[in-house]
Structure 1
Amino acid sequence: MPPAAPDATAQDADRRLHPMSWLFVLAQQLKSFIVPLALMLLFGRGEGHMYQLWGLVGVGVLVALSLWQYFTYRYGIVDDALVVRSGRLERSLRVIPFARIHNVALQQTLLHRVFGVAEVRLESAGGQKPEAEMRVLKLGDALALEVLIRQRGRAVDGAAEESREAAPRPLLTLPLGELVRLGLISNRGMVVVAAAMAALSQFGPEDAVEDYLEKQAEQDLRVAAVWADNHHLGAVDYAIGAAMVLLALIVLVRLLSIALALLQFHGFALSERGRRLTVERGLLARWRTSVPRRRIQSWTLRESLLHRLFRRRSLDVDTAVSAHSQQQRALRELAPIATPDACDALVDHLLPKAGWTALAWRAVPDVAWWRLFLPSLPITLLLTALACWRFGCWGLLVLLWLPVAAFKARQLARRIGYALGEELVAVREGWWSRHWRFAEIDKLQALQLVRTPLDRHFGTATLKLDTAGAGTMAPPLRIRFLPEADARALCQRLAHALAQRPLHW
């Protein structure tokens, strides 16, 4: 159990934030509505809306609140704990033991780097908010606080202390070529396109699309048709033109993806210092986040079709920190892109007793393909009936999807497997996009044996495994389509193993 928090008073919190911290607090508060406000001013149609000037009054109030927070926020160090005091009318005093802090995140935007400061965020397991947010500290003070938490937290946990702080050991870096591959593999450019379309539809001129379709679209089509007739374009030329437009759009999206990959992962470096992993990344905004290795709860290897074309994979982890949607700085991507051998070597290094590369994988029974194919059968028959009602006998062509679905189900079933070692449980699934999901046995928090009506009919069951900090986008850790007897035996084996081991956070 972690030690009790030491006694502390408000006088122990005697350190101020950086003198310019109020500016960054103000920027954070304005961030939620500064973009809609700017778009409204740019694209707004009305004239004489003087009530919009009341927004300046709101900004003035936010400035006053930011200054108030700066003058009333203090922090300090007492023994092996951080003391945070805030508020004047409604006072708050928090004592946070270093052993409770699971993740230390440092952020430097371009503005932070200009002023030589950093934002510090301290996170722990569970909860909806971080333990403490310091916006902002001098960069040297922020790094010193990170080192202090690492040293004191290790000492409290009972780990062997070193006379000197060990130098960080690099585990993975991403050169420019890897970042370009990451941009080509990922689909981050679609995020920019979707955001731009959403902003245009939300804040652009009212009825702009309808006005264009009603007034200008027909004229533009006529001009294009006249141009095509003058150049004697045929069906092949139209097909080539459409293909070139589609290719240009794909290239544009990929270029945006590469640009985003450079912005987010430029200078990516995964390093190890003692028992703590640290990731640094970012071109304009620098992110630095660290977490003890023991806080990693589960692992996910991903391999899409584009990953296989480039002979790459990605490695993500879930850590025992709050899963609140705003905590984007938690360490998740250990290897945004790397070769399969590099990913395996990284797992073997961080889990030396798990024997990741030596696991014996077991396939599920052949009936799994039928279970995967079955949901597409009624949907296809329904769509066939609707197509026949609308198009006659031509609607029967929809039935051609059934052999495709059967082939896909067989390929998916062939890839499903699981492995159980002395220290690790792992599952794998996927065909076009594949993933491997695994966790140390002593990190499991719950076991659940699930049987649906189809499971009871086929004599199968699904074993669900739960860990702390599972990401919402992470694939589930489950073993599907097991024979009931095998599923119960596996569940009992894992339950017995968990009963003999302490739960490790």
Structure 2
Amino acid sequence: MTAAMTATPVETDWRRLSPRMLVIHPFQEVVRAAPALIGLLFAGSSSGGEGHLWSLVGVGIMVLFGMLRWFTTTYRITAEHVQVRKGLLNRKVVTVPRDRVRTVDVTSHILHRLLGLARVEVGTGMSDRKRGGELKLDALSVAEAARLRVELLHRSPVADTPPEDIAATGVPAVVAGAPGADETELAVLRPQWIRYGPFTLSGLVAVGVIAGFLSRLASEGNVDLGQVGPVRETWRWLSAAALPLAVATVVLVLALFVGVASTIGYLLAFWNFRLTRHRGGTLHVTRGLVTTRATTVEERRLRGVEVSEPLLLRAVRGARLIAITTGLRVGQGAQRGGSMLLPPAPKAEAEAVAVRVLRGAGDPSPVTVPLTTHGSAAVRRRFTRAFGVHAAVTAVLLYCWLWSDLPSWPGLTMVALLPLTALMAADRARNLGHTLASGYLVSRTGSLVRRRVVLECDGIIGWNVERSFFQRRAGLVTLTATTAAGRQGYRVQDVALAEALRIAAAGSPGLLDPFLAGGDAVPAAEGQVRR
């Protein structure tokens, strides 16, 4: 995405967001500042001051700040650009060429839904990696959001189409989650998938949010949590109990809370989940119980899929499916971003949906094709790295025990965890694999999160060959396929140099020829090779 001041086209007027956002933005600002406002109320009251008056002043400032966003935000759509003008003191115009639009993400929180509004985010492949200059419209009416989606992704001139006529495009059906005549359903949430919710560990986020909120609230309000009755009694019981019993109790309570919170989070995030293919060449993902979300992706921008298996989810034979495409958020969690094509579900179902998303992808299917192992040198490297890190940490803890007041149990615990380290190293070695199948590069790696990446070779814009000091001694390299989609780089770890060059040459025929010395399988210079 590019942000620049551009000349004003005379044929299109600037439009404002829905006036109903004058309710949403002030409410959001007040909620965001709630801990500080509550703390101001408590602090002012406890010191004999008029804390309630200062809190009301703070609420008024937040409301005014939220209302100013409507007066200072306008947008327009021309034949070539989408533009958003925002800011009061720091005025900015964000301009996006229409041919760079990759995705349109429509989200409706509970307050949005009550007022018939939606938030629209336009993805271009750069906005989600560089947070400045993103194009976000909060909030539009549901009908206007649907019209905007069709106009930007389906290249349909619907700016003058009445809302009741948009039904023919299928967009309102996607927003509402109802089937459309011009859609093919690829996946839909099944009730039995909810059993995978506790194994996603998304409830850990809830634990962190609640702990952070309570801590900030106590800090702002000058409250000593240790003097609160339930907290004091719980701490007294844990202090009096034996250490193994106290640890087991805390772990059990935390596991139960995280499991319940993860299941609730699964229902809130993925209820009414549907994945459909539109005849206009797009994929639609709709989901959400309280907050609904509808993401539209151009299929011609799709470069592959990723089958992700976190350790706990893999233990119950579950997996999730993630899109590799430009314009979707990366690095923020697939559940929060728009790249999720299938929530945690049976692995067989994730693989079947991946095949349908890739339209079969040929024979053999890159989603299920057997992979080439990386050999004994790569296996030794997995064990060497795991035992090396384990030994270093153990040595530091034992040294601190001998020469400081640190108790002995951390070091002894690390010694006892040595078999677990060996199991993890073996699992990492077993999961290494790669192949080329039906025009796709397939790579698998990881243990805590095992990922099988299926990347279209036509979407690879370059190759990067890297060798560390220890890799050179082992005769191995790491081959990275660079692309404009997803994480921008997907690695084939610890393969022989000749095998890495074979993969790159087969994936991008002729690209490596100028970089090979005398036609041999030896690179003239180590580094990056791009189209």
Q: Give 2:463's match in structure 1, choosing from 427, 437, 447.
A: 447
5+ long unaligned stretches in structure 2 = 1-5, 159-167, 171-180, 514-531
Residues 223 and 168 of structure 1: CA distance in aligned 2, closer, same or farther (over 3 Å): closer
Shift in alpha-carbon separation, 1:318–1:224, aligned structure 2, 3 A: same
SS at match of 1:152: coil
C-alpha displacement of 1:334: 0.5
Q: Which amino acid aligns with 1:466?
A: T
CA contact (8 A) 1:181 1:310 kept: no
Question: Residues of 1 paired with 2:92 and 2:448: CA distance?
Answer: 52
1:279 aligns with one of 282, 285, 290? 285
> Superposed, which structure 2 residues align to 1:134-153 within 5 Å?
134-152=137-155
Q: Is contact 1:380–1:402 with CA below 8 Å preserved after alignment?
A: yes
Per the alignment, residue 202 of structure 1 pairs with: 216
Provide closer, same or farther for how the CA distance between residues 320 and 218 of structure 1 changes in structure 2, counting only shifts above 3 A: closer
Pick from 361, 367, 371 the counterpart of residue 353 of structure 1. Answer: 361
Counterpart of 1:290 in 2: which secondary structure?
Answer: strand
State the Cα deviation string for residues 355-386 of structure 1 (Å, max 9, x = none): 32463411011122221121344455553586
8 A Cα contact 1:104 1:146, kept in partner: yes
1:488 to 495, 501, 507: 501
- Give 1:496 shift: 3.0
Q: Secondary structure at the match of 2:430?
A: helix
Question: How far is the alpha carbon of 1:270 from its aligned partner?
Answer: 1.4
User: Structure 2 counterpart of 1:146, which letter?
Assistant: R
Equivalent position SS for 2:477: strand
Matches within 5 A, 1:304-343: 304-321=310-327, 323=329, 330-343=337-350
User: Within the alignment, does 1:105 sit opposite 2:75 as a pair?
Assistant: no
Q: CA 1:114 to 1:342, structure 2 compared with 1: closer, same or farther past 3 Å?
A: same
Name 2:123's counterpart in structure 1.
Answer: 123
* Distance in 2 (alpha carbons) for counterparts of 1:322 and 1:335: 15
- After TM superposition, the score normalised by the length of structure 2 is 0.75
1:344 is matched with: 351
Q: Does 1:371 align with 2:404?
A: no
Pairwise CA distance, 1:401: 5.3
Cα distance change of structure 1 residues 49 and 183 upon mapping to structure 2, 3 Å threshold: farther
- Determine if contact 2:374/2:432 at 8 Å carries over to the other structure: yes
CA distance in 1, matches of 2:447, 2:134: 41
State the Cα RMSD in Å.
4.2
List per-residue Cα deviations over 1:294-330 (Å, max 9, x = no partner): 2234532122343344332111124312758789975
Q: Deviations over 1:57-76 (max 9, x none)?
A: 45545544544443454444
Tell which structure's C-alpha radius of gyration is larger: 1
Query: 1:199 is matched by which residue type in structure 2?
Result: F
Q: How far does residue 173 in structure 1 lie from its aligned partner after superposition? A: 1.3
Q: Select which of 481, 484, 493 maps to 1:468.
A: 484
- Contact 2:476 2:495 (C-alpha < 8 Å) held by counterparts: yes
1:159 match:
none
1:168 and 2:151 matched: no
1:185 paired to 2:199: yes
Residue 306 of structure 2 contacts residue 323 of structure 2 at CA under 8 Å; is this kept in 1?
yes
Query: Are the structure 2 counterparts of residues 184 and 8 from structure 1 closer, same or farther at C-alpha, using a change threshold of 3 Å?
Result: same
Aligned partner (choices 261, 266, 275) of residue 256 of structure 1: 261
Paired with 2:40 and 2:321, the residues of 1 have a C-alpha distance of 41
Name which of structure 1's ranges 351-360 and 287-296 shifts more when overlaid on structure 2.
351-360
Deviation at 1:135, TM superposition (A): 2.0
Return the letter of the residue paired with 1:150: L
Unaligned runs of at least 5 residues, structure 1: 1-5, 156-162, 226-234, 501-505
Change (3 A) 1:249 1:296: same
